[in-house]
Amino acid sequence: MGPSISKYAYAVSGAHVYEKYFFRKSDMDKLLAAPTYEAVVAILQERGWPMPEDTRDSGKILDLELSRAWDWMQKSSPDPTIFRSLVLRNDYHNLKAGIKCLLSDFEVDQQFCKPSSIDPSLMKEAIETHSFDQLPAPFNSLAEEVYDLLVRTGDGQMADVLIDRKCLEEITKEAESSGCDLLKEEMEIYTATCNIKTAFRAIKTGKDSSFLEKALSDGNRTISKEKLVACAGAEKKMEELLSYLSTTSYSSGTKYLSSSPADYEKWVDDQMISLLIPTKYSPLGPEPMIGFYLGKEAEIRNVRIVLAAKQNNLPLDVVSKRLRRLYE
């Protein structure tokens, strides 16, 4: 049974008010036209974005703003647990980055992403003290397995495979348990396109079907793991893969796999935003809350691109092509 929609009335009303301060296309044009990195930061401050002590740290600027939106949503929603799948990938990233940093003598939380469902301080302590039992399942057993693998073999690629696959499978499970069809569809696009990207890279680099069997997650409805694995065992691997993908709902994004990985990522992001638009102005239910958060993520991605462009003096015409569709 899906979540009751009427209990979201107050939260949705608040989200619609909050969204009035989201960046529109005209606002992004203003950011692009700003002469310097500092000028972009000034515009963000004018819009109420919280700032770290060091405003040259663009990563912290973006983390603070996205965390602010996530925290508001968690406090405002009557059942915030159903949205956990939206940030799970950050938890798995933090686990991966933390263990690798520990074994490389770097600060464990140096590469942590926010927001996350597991308190970063808990994640840091569990990794630093090798007390993985402090973490909730399945992080506890996965952390032990990955740590042991890296200590014994130093096989960073296999560690990535274990964590990335578990991440996608848990995102699918969390979305399914939410009872919200929109969340299921959004996470289906995300996990399926991640599997497609993994299959493409594996075949391009000469990996066999046994590697893909380990690397690809289970549970997708719109893409067949078995068919992706079979492509890696075919005589003309890449031709088989592209032929199969042309029969799926992801066919229009297939052309970007070979020509531009960045364009493929943009295509995926735009597909996810497009799916949200029909429920944007719904007065009830969890759907507008999902749109609120993913819309803020899209805004954050665009601001990240602009800040990086200003820091590296990239041409505006190149940067504008990288910008994602906004939630408007």
CATH number at residue 166: 1.20.1690.10
Question: Are residue 173 and residue 196 in the same domain, yes or no?
Answer: no
Question: Are residue 89 and residue 71 in the same domain, yes or no?
Answer: no
For the record, the structure tokens of 65 come out as: 């703003």
Instruction: Please list, residue by residue across 120-131, b when 16 or more beta carbons sit within 10 angstroms of its beta carbon and e when fewer do.
Output: beebbebbeeee
pTM of the model: 0.94
For the record, the structure tokens of 219 come out as: 């549970």
Q: What's the structural domain count of the chain?
A: 3
pLDDT at 205: 93
Domain enclosing residue 202, as ranges: 180-285
Give which of 183, 188, 138, 184 is closest to 163, Cα–Cα: 138
Which residues have CB under 8 Å from 291's CB, separation 6+?
15, 276, 277, 279, 280, 327
C-alpha to C-alpha distance for 157 and 144, rounded to whole angstroms: 16
CATH code: domain of residue 39? 1.10.132
pLDDT at 2: 46
pLDDT at 1: 37
pLDDT at 316: 87
Dihedral angle sign, alpha carbons of residues 202, 206, 209, 214: negative
State the 10-residue block means of pLDDT for the chain, 328 residues long.
Answer: 72 94 95 95 96 95 97 95 97 97 94 95 97 97 97 95 98 96 98 97 94 96 97 92 96 91 95 95 92 97 96 90 94
pLDDT at 3: 52
C-alpha to C-alpha distance for 88 and 96, rounded to whole angstroms: 13
